[in-house]
Structure 1
């Protein structure tokens, strides 16, 4: 079993209940809070990444790109210098792909899709214009 102990009885300590379950096509995405600053993200009951640094990991949205689904997550770090970062999880390919954390530290992300490309834009800190990251072919890169 992924969580808990086989054969637990009613009233005993059970595994953490998922905070979020979402169907992305034929895939089930689950977010479970394991403990303080510890959130596990699973695809079809298989853990794909764990966030052990953020105060809170949130699901922003899911976006369809041809035969794949892209889930966008926001990590609230609690840090004064950079309170928010983002991460992408792609499902639908041979295996789930997880991006590294990215963002300008703003929580005001705007998502656009053009053909098979997802772009996440957000303000730069201190009124420095706009920053953007583009996700295509399993890779995220800063484009602005």
Structure 2
């Protein structure tokens, strides 16, 4: 069983590292494009997909069931998958037009019905992840608005969020 878990984890991480495990376009009987599977990866016992269902509509799909849908034109990417004492979590990076380079969400695959957390982050694209016991901690530099040249100003400290058993809490 340990060998199977390790092999499954490696398969999921290899898919994420490669950036694209399986991609395709589903076409309806009328020839219309239904959806683009942007990424598909095995994580634990689950199959996780990032799907562009329509223009400006992104979905996170687990085992062929939509668990989250964004209709604001955001794009999603896998950051990594984490196993916390048997709980599989996936850190997702969400980006959209409008000045914030990145927000993050945690996809929790452990519950009977997988869930996606509320968005969090400082607009930084540089998350640092730590795991302890049953807690996933994501920290990143605080971005202090825009400088006079229109570019992001220097970071002012660090912000951090803990995700533990379905709860997301900002800790600093």
More helix per residue: 2
Aligned equivalent of 1:16, options 26, 32, 35:
35
Tell me how far 1:68 sits from its aligned partner. 1.7
Q: Structure 1 stretches (4+) deviating beyond 6 angstroms?
A: none
Unaligned stretches of 5+ in structure 2?
1-25, 145-154
- Unmatched segments (≥5 aa) in structure 1: none
Given that 1:72 and 1:88 are in contact with CA atoms closer than 8 Å, whether structure 2 keeps it comes out as yes
TM-score, normalised via structure 1 length: 0.86
Q: CA RMSD in A?
A: 1.8
State the Cα deviation string for residues 84-138 of structure 1 (Å, max 9, x = none): 2111110022211210011111111111111111000100013210000000011
CA–CA separation in structure 1 for the residues paired with 2:65 and 2:27: 14
| Correspondence for 1:137 | 165
Cα distance change on mapping 1:78 and 1:17 into 2, 3 Å: closer
TM-score of the aligned structures, taking structure 2 as reference length: 0.73
Q: Distance in 1 between matches of 2:80 and 2:72?
A: 21
Q: Please state whether the residue corresponding to 1:107 is helix, strand or coil.
A: coil
